[in-house]
Amino acid sequence: MTPQALRRKIRRFEATLPITFNFERALTKQGTWSAEGVWYRSQKEHWLGWLSEYDGPGAYGRKTSVIRSAEFAYNHVVCPPMVLWLGEASGVTTSLMIQAKKSALGASRKLQGKCAAS
């Protein structure tokens, strides 16, 4: 799947979801993540922005000579709520989402570790 194909699927999902919303609040209380000063209003908008320029350098100075997959894009997300939101939005069962949330909250303070745990 290409990043643009994933983007088309994400457009159909709800923007605000309860488990992700609570996860964001818990991360903020932990002091490991904050939505303060970000350009997006939801993780859906964050995903759409992240993927919109994935074929070019975008805001992150990506290499443009290499074609990347949606899997590659997903594996390079360093925002735990983005990862959790995608699972919740795509219909992963509530029990698994709660388990992923708990795992991420208990993981290292580094965002990469929290992404991997969720």
Domain coordinates of the chain in residue numbers? Answer: 3-117
Q: Global pTM?
A: 0.89
pLDDT score of 56 more than 90: no
Two tokens, residue 7: 């983007």
Q: What is the distance between the alpha carbons of residues 71 and 107, in angstroms, rounded to a whole number?
A: 22
Can you tell me the mean pLDDT for 73-99?
Answer: 96
In 3D space, the residue among 48, 42, 37, 50 whose CA is nearest the CA of residue 18 turns out to be 42
Q: Which of 3-17, 33-47, 54-68, 100-114 has the lowest mean pLDDT?
A: 54-68
Can you tell me the mean pLDDT for 23-45?
Answer: 93
Two tokens, residue 62: 């990506």
